[in-house]
């Protein structure tokens, strides 16, 4: 077993953050921190005001930020997700902004259940032989950019780092991850100044620092 949220050392956490910052993202030819900065700029004013603006945000998360590895989904679903969010745009934005920072309180899944509803889209292969409907990674990356003090990212690497049971329902899995990320923030508070220093001010929240550690150590 590799490093997990309970066994990671400060030295390994610092090394993971430095590795993340220097690493090239996928086949983009750009560093992770450059892609991060692009996302931060896209979301700098919060949730898009128009349906098209929300669509651009959703599409960027799905395609460019690794929200889904399903190419068909990254083409077909952004418009559907964006349309559902836009219908309740003001409520959606207020709900995300109103949540307490994770270090103070873990949001209940029931509190964010409605935020996930637009991502509950069913996608079928052209031949109709396969069906996909779990877009929780896409959703958590989207939420993270809207409120990085509350939402850690849950992808396959984070699941391994936080020891999330395979086969868990999306809501159950993310509820566990929220609790474990909060445990890390609370029980390793004395690490945070050193992690911020090692990061060189690239991260926009302490949760983002945790995400970097999880991303590298959950490989």
Which residue ranges make up each domain of the chain?
A: 10-217
**C-alpha to C-alpha distance for 106 and 150, rounded to whole angstroms:** 8
Q: Which of 100, 96, 97 is nearest to 118 (CA)?
A: 96
* Average pLDDT of the chain to the nearest whole number: 95
How do residues 37-54 score in pLDDT, each as one tens digit? 999 999 999 999 999 999
pTM: 0.96
**pLDDT for residue 1 is more than 70:** no
Tell me the per-residue pLDDT of 78-109, one tens digit each, with 9 for 90 and over.
999 999 999 999 999 999 999 999 999 999 98
Per-residue pLDDT reduced to its tens digit, 140-179: 999 999 999 999 999 999 999 999 988 889 999 999 999 9
Least confident range from 73-77, 99-103, 108-112, 184-188: namely: 108-112
């Amino acid at each position: 077993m590799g490093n997990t949220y309970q066994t990671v050392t400060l030295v390994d956490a610092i090394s993971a953050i430095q590795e993340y910052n220097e690493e090239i993202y996928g086949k983009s030819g750009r560093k992770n921190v450059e892609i991060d900065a692009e996302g931060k700029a896209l979301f700098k004013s919060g949730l898009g005001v128009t349906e098209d603006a929300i669509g651009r945000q959703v599409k960027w998360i799905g395609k460019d930020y690794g929200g889904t590895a399903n190419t068909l989904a990254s083409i077909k679903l952004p418009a559907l997700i964006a349309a559902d969010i836009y219908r309740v745009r003001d409520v959606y934005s207020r709900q995300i902004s109103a949540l307490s920072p994770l270090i103070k309180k873990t949001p209940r899944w029931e509190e964010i259940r409605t935020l996930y509803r637009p991502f509950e889209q069913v996608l079928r292969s052209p031949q109709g032989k396969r069906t996909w409907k779990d877009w929780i990674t896409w959703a958590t990356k989207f939420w993270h950019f809207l409120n990085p003090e509350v939402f850690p990212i849950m992808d396959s690497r984070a699941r391994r780092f936080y020891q999330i049971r395979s086969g868990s329902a999306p809501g159950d899995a993310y509820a566990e991850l929220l609790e474990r990320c909060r445990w890390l923030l609370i029980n390793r508070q004395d690490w945070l100044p050193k992690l911020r220093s090692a990061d060189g001010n690239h991260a926009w929240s302490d949760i983002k620092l945790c995400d970097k550690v999880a991303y590298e150590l959950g490989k």
